[in-house]
Amino acid sequence: MQLAFATFPATGRIALGSYSPYAMSFWRVTGAAVFFSAFLLVREGRVPLPERGTRWKVLWLSLLGISLNQMLFLVGLSLSSAVRGGLFVMFIPILTTAWAVLRKAEALNTRKAAGVLLAAIGILVLTGVDLVRGLGTGDLFFLLNGACYSIYLVEARPLLRRYSSLYMVTWVFLAALPVMAIIPLCGVKLVPAEAGAAGHSAMLWIILGPTIWSYLGNIIALRHLPASATAIAICAQPLIAALLAVLLLGEKVHWREGVTFVLVVAGIWLAMMPKRHGRTAKSVADAEEPMARR
């Protein structure tokens, strides 16, 4: 499931040759909403509304974790490279840890502080010492994408104690449909005439693979795999994304991106990998709840 998402930056760049970021967001959300509604209906016989007291929170979480999250990433990808897009995904577990500590959902310790610090250094290395100028490209949208998704993951934890992961995934996608309905009303072409076979095929794969399969796979995998395996998959994503970017798009990997990768991997290891006695940091599992990403 994580590996399917790793194909998103490269195939996303191909689709962006004809589709706008907003049209791509529309099809990702609409396709996932239809699929998960049907899946929940077949499995449980109905798609009940969230309880009255939680509906506004579901809408707010949907705005952060689905609508803004997906549009910000795709806008960033349209302004940047697939290599950098894949690399910025690695910041999400670290940003999730930082927000959880700020919200006092997790206790701060030396390992987490060191992990967040290493990731912050990684951002400086990637964007340059002049942070404002360095973020003037798609990097800023990637960071905002990660921030929205990280806040969403932490704030969704109370609802995940009340509802199943499948139910929550279904409703955050359904709740995003009104926002997506605005896109065609603004004159955005949902099916651009200039898109050839490559563009349409990339768009179809993005709906089926990095969206539906990634979310569905996470629902299954989190019940059977240790959090450490998920963390390793996170670290593998930018490597696969970079490989595909080089092979399919002819992009190049620069030294800044390599150094940033090493720093963020070290940060994830410090903040989230198993501690003594085989205990695993809770934040890894939370950071990879199936409502993720991308």
Domain segments of the chain as ranges = 2-287
User: pLDDT value at position 15?
Assistant: 96
The helix/strand/coil state of 84 is helix
Question: Rounded to whole angstroms, what are the CA distances from 95 to 36, 84, 123, 144?
Answer: 27, 17, 12, 11
Task: Count the Cβ atoms, other than its own, within 10 Å of residue 96.
Answer: 29
> What tens digit of pLDDT does each residue of 36-79 get?
999 999 998 988 989 988 999 999 999 999 999 999 999 999 99
**What's the pTM?**
0.86
Could you tell me what percent of the chain has a pLDDT over 70? 83
| Amino acid found at 293 | R
Classify residue 293 as left (phi > 0), alpha (psi -120 to 50) or beta: left
Query: Taking residues 69-91, what's their average pLDDT?
Result: 92
> What tens digit of pLDDT does each residue of 211-254 get?
998 888 766 655 555 555 556 667 778 888 999 999 999 999 98
User: pLDDT value at position 288?
Assistant: 45
Question: Rounded to whole angstroms, what are the CA distances from 240 to 8, 9, 72, 126?
Answer: 10, 10, 22, 19
What's the whole-number average pLDDT of the chain? Answer: 84
More reliable by pLDDT, 259 or 286: 259
